[in-house]
Amino acid sequence: MDLLEKRIISEGRVIGEDVLKVDMFLNHRIDPQLVDAIGAEFRRVFADKDITLVLTVEASGIPAAVACAREFGVPCLFAKKGRNRNVGKDVYECEVFSFTKGETYIMSVSKAYLTCADRVLIIDDFIAEGEATKGMLDIIRQAGASCEGIGIIIEKAFQSGGAKLRAEGYDIRSLAIIDEMREVPGGAPVIKFRHDR
């Protein structure tokens, strides 16, 4: 997605060789117009899918997931992290290790909102090692629902999550795929996008 790559190049910051900060437009401060464009792009990419639900996990996937759900005319469901007394006990849940936070958390979804009849599109902002995505897939499996596709805004292809899930047969589409990146002290970072998708 050209618009997205341009924003990453012009505003993104690389720290070391594996952290890409895009919190100025994507996952802390959010540009609503870009989010809408991302939602429309996911609709285009998965146009042949008959989706009943968009699933993401809190928090930074939510804006794009809601934008995408609007495009498909379906609800968006976001999995919760941690235990929450208002969610109740009737949930599908799994443990997920977050490399970003360096800790394991419980991901949960109320059983009432995900059924075996659902054809789910997973949306998330990043895929690196794929832990969060695998957690959502586990929850979809527990519900007996089907995963029709996985839409990722930015894939760090130098980490293994996307490749492993493709090898398992999942239809993952990433709007920007980064093969390599590195910080350049005093200069613009090097970010190499893959375009053969």
Output 11 or 170, the one with its CB closest to its own copies.
Answer: 11
* Spacing of C-alpha 165 from chain mean position: 13
Give 35 or 153: the residue with its C-beta nearer to its own copies. Answer: 35
Site string for its own copies, 4-33 (x = CB under 8 A): ---------------x-x-xxx--xxxxxx
Stretch binding its own copies (CB under 8 A), from 4-12, 65-73, 131-139, 177-185? 65-73
- Name 133's Cβ contacts closer than 8 Å, sequence gap at least 6: 122, 124, 127, 150, 152, 161, 165
# residues contacting its own copies (CB under 8 A): 41
Distance CA 96, CA 131 (A): 6
Is 173 in a helix, a strand, or coil? strand
Question: Minimal CA–CA distance to 129: which of 171, 107, 101, 92?
Answer: 101
**What is the residue-wise DSSP string for 127-180?**
ESS-HHHHHHHHHHHHHT-EEEEEEEEEEETTSSHHHHHHHTT--EEEEEEEEE
| Binding to its own copies, residues 99-158 (CB under 8 A) | 100-102, 109-110, 112-113
The residue range among 95-103, 128-136, 140-148, 170-178 that interacts with its own copies, by the rule CB under 8 A, is 95-103
Pick one of 62, 120, 157, 181: the residue that binds its own copies (CB under 8 A): 62
Which is closer to its own copies, CB of 80 or CB of 134? 80
d(CA 79, CA 26): 19
Q: What residue ranges bind its own copies (CB under 8 A)?
A: 19, 21, 23-25, 28-33, 35-36, 58-60, 62-63, 66-67, 69-70, 75-78, 80, 82-88, 100-102, 109-110, 112-113
